[in-house]
Chain A
Amino acid sequence: MEEYTLLCEDSIDGILTGIYEAYQIKKEEGVESHDRIHLYAGEMVQQRLCMHDIHIKTDLEKSHKVIRTLVEKLSEENYYDLCLAMVSDGQDKADAVYHTVVRALQTKDRNMFAGLQNDYILKAFTYQRNANNELMHLRGFLRFHELEQGILYAKTGPKNQILPFLMAHFADRLPSENFMIYDEKHQVFGVHQKQKEWYLVQSDSFQEEELVFSKDEQCYAELFCHFCESIAIRERTNENLQRNMLPLRFRGYMTEFQSKY
């Protein structure tokens, strides 16, 4: 029995194109089950050097077709959850998402992640949860600094590629601000101009040292640091709990944990 392995780009559109092609192959080649077809993205692609692998070129038209199907047949919420799983750092996320979609379309279950006994669904669910948890964290832990011209600048280094989700959140929250968020791990900028749509820019030649902060910036940073100190109850000091709630990896980017203030 033949197994098919599809390799796609590590992006939402890449994976969705992969899913489209997987369905095509099943139909055209008459593969009896989706279980014989596998879809990998990103790092997994580099690890494999097999002659029989099929490389998929990202095609926006095909990915949009898949999106339409998912939103119509499942729901907007389910599609949102799948997107989170697709931007996660799960190694075999593409395969998990692909097979979860297959099952959800078969069972027509509105609660896509219900069948957690299934390994694919469990994985997709776990990846979705990981990415979502990090998104929840960063919505709170991200820190903006005010630059000279009043632009707000934030730097972050998330494990999952959740910058688009963060941008959507802050664009709703700060519609009249010019702001940018730099994901230094994936070297992507999110840019939002006052009263306009936000967009992403790929960049690997960014000099943070050239940024000039506004004259109030230092004052407010100091005020906030003092606030964080005085709001703690000394008799209840509990650094373990603090570390559980606010893992160390976030602190490097957070104003109140910088020694300079």
Chain B
Amino acid sequence: MFCKDDVKRKNMLFVPPFGDGMGIGMEMKTVMEKLEILSDAAKYDVACTSSGVDRKGNGKDMGNCIKGGICHSFAADGRCISLLKILLSNECIFDCKYCLNRKSNDVPRATFTPREVCELTMNFYKRNYIEGLFLSSGIIENPTYTMELIFQVVFLLRTFYHFQGYIHVKGIPGADPDIIQKTGFYVDRMSVNLELPTADGLKLLAPNKHRKNILAPMRQIQNGIIQGKQEIVQYKNAPSFVPSGQSTQMIIGATPESDYQIMSVAQGLYDKFNLKRVFYSAYVSINADKDLPALHTGTPLLREHRLYQADWLLRFYQFKAEELLTEKRPNFNVLLDPKCDWALQHLEQFPVEINRADYHTLLRVPGIGVKSAQRICGARRTGNLRFEDLKKIGVVLKRALYFITCNGKMMYHTKMEEDYITRNLLALPEKLPFQKDTMTYKQLTLFDDKVETAELFGGQKEILQRVV
């Protein structure tokens, strides 16, 4: 006897992709419509990276993976296109308030067949349009069933099409651990969306989702990765489980969490769940709901940018969240990047001597990045560095000059005073990756109460008025 699921699954597998499976022909229009609906529905998912795993071609099948990832194009919003980022289906039984595909929204719905997804992936990959597949889905019937459909696609793609390129799928919270485990052996990266930074936010905006259901598969994937690594040491040819690690994302600005809360959550995820990446997605107001920011509120791009800057400080600059923010100072400075801001609060640790300071200390100097810190450490072995050498190495001197000495001398005669340096740093235009008008200062503090705002900007109010 067939159960309903089996019939459906069978249909999904055996409906030929385009006509009889050779070329697009008659079905081109449906595939085009589906692709438009299901890529449009997937666009709010941030992760489009193809990095984290090096896999040479096997000399026979199509595809390989490059550790650093490859960007294949950039969309009109400036975001990288690396993977064929689509939903398998935007049919969804859930009703998350922030989501375009929520059950109660009246939007066009579509579902790909596994063969369609595979044909698209292979043909796009062959033409070097993409680095691989990113597959997520709305919840069809129930989480386990949805995860099974996703599994079928990657299974088909890996075993029938022999695709060796990058595959990133979403782990569906609440799905049977067995199916998540099975999927993990066929994909490079799996991610479970945290959706919102705190459990309270999730409860408010995603009534069908529960924090523990999200953290459970995240933990399962983490354990799978750790176990997989041990097995690879033991047996060289053991299949690798999620070799490129797991990531997650959270929506920023739909709920009233502070930057401090968000960064603490991110740090917890890195420390306790070994995540490769945490992505922050500035909330784009697409749905009207009393629990959401008003429609057409600007997208908090600057806030998202600051969070990414701070995220970099956690991952590559050996900073801790509590060094950057505190409960009393819970939000990032709109005018200065988090590293400058931190340095100004810790002037007692500066200036540092370029020719002697250790790598860790160099990393904390504004204007010195990971690469220039490494180059400094390499170059000073062959001889003392002067300011003009630093410029060649790539140090942003106009920022760094307040915090460093070369051979015991500062570049100019400067005062080690917070106000003085702040004023000078603010006079340098910060290169932001977006136009200024997308997010105003007022919108950014949408959820801050007035006292907090006054505290946050109290010291710099005058400057603020001059700059803005």
A residues near B (Cβ < 8 Å) are 107, 109, 111, 113-118, 122, 136, 139-146, 152, 154, 170, 172-177, 195, 215-216, 219-224, 226-242, 244-246, 254-256
In the complex, A222→B81 CA distance in Å?
Answer: 16
B389's partner among A117, A145, A154, A234 (CB-CB below 8 A) is A117
B3 to chain A, nearest CB (A): 35
Interface residue? B429 (CB, 8 A): no
A140-B70, A140-B72, A231-B75 known; A255-B284 Cβ under 8 A: no
A252 to chain B, nearest CB (A): 14
Binary interface encoding of chain B residues 1-36 relative to chain A, with 1 for a CB under 8 A from any of its CBs, else 0: 000000000000000000000011000100110011
Some 16 contacts from A to B, beta carbons below 8 A apart, are A116-B389, A117-B379, A117-B382, A173-B63, A175-B57, A176-B62, A195-B60, A216-B123, A220-B127, A226-B32, A230-B39, A231-B43, A237-B76, A240-B78, A242-B76, A245-B80
A241 touching B382, Cβ below 8 Å: no
CB-defined contacts of B131 to chain A, threshold 8 Å? 140
CB-defined contacts of B301 to chain A, threshold 8 Å? 236
B122 to chain A, nearest CB (A): 10
A172-B64, A174-B62, A223-B35 known; A115-B73 Cβ under 8 A: no
CB-defined contacts of A219 to chain B, threshold 8 Å? 23-24, 28
A232 touching B56, Cβ below 8 Å: no
CB-defined contacts of A228 to chain B, threshold 8 Å? 73, 75, 81
Q: How many residue pairs bridge A and B at CB < 8 Å?
A: 183
Binary interface encoding of chain B residues 72-92 relative to chain A, with 1 for a CB under 8 A from any of its CBs, else 0: 111111111110110000000
In the complex, A242→B74 CA distance in Å?
Answer: 6
Residue of A140, A144, A177 most packed against chain B (CB within 10 A): A140
Measured CB to CB, the nearest residue on chain A to B162 is A176
A143 to chain B, nearest CB (A): 6
Task: Identify which of residues 46-78 in chain B touch chain A, using a CB-to-CB cut-off of 8 Å.
Answer: 56-64, 66, 68, 70-78
B71 touching A140, Cβ below 8 Å: yes
CB-defined contacts of B381 to chain A, threshold 8 Å? 109, 114-115
A116-B392, A143-B127 known; A226-B81 Cβ under 8 A: no
In the complex, A51→B284 CA distance in Å?
Answer: 69
A238 touching B299, Cβ below 8 Å: no
In the complex, A108→B267 CA distance in Å?
Answer: 41
CB-defined contacts of A144 to chain B, threshold 8 Å? 126-128
A232 touching B75, Cβ below 8 Å: yes
Interface residue? B42 (CB, 8 A): yes
B36 touching A232, Cβ below 8 Å: no
B242 to chain A, nearest CB (A): 22
In the complex, A213→B434 CA distance in Å?
Answer: 39
A115-B379, A215-B23 known; A254-B123 Cβ under 8 A: no
A162 to chain B, nearest CB (A): 15
Measured CB to CB, the nearest residue on chain A to B124 is A224
CB-defined contacts of A139 to chain B, threshold 8 Å? 66, 70
In the complex, A72→B434 CA distance in Å?
Answer: 48
A236 touching B284, Cβ below 8 Å: yes
B128 touching A143, Cβ below 8 Å: yes
Measured CB to CB, the nearest residue on chain A to B69 is A140
B299 touching A143, Cβ below 8 Å: no
B43 touching A232, Cβ below 8 Å: yes
B74 touching A246, Cβ below 8 Å: yes
In the complex, A245→B434 CA distance in Å?
Answer: 13
CB-defined contacts of B31 to chain A, threshold 8 Å? 223
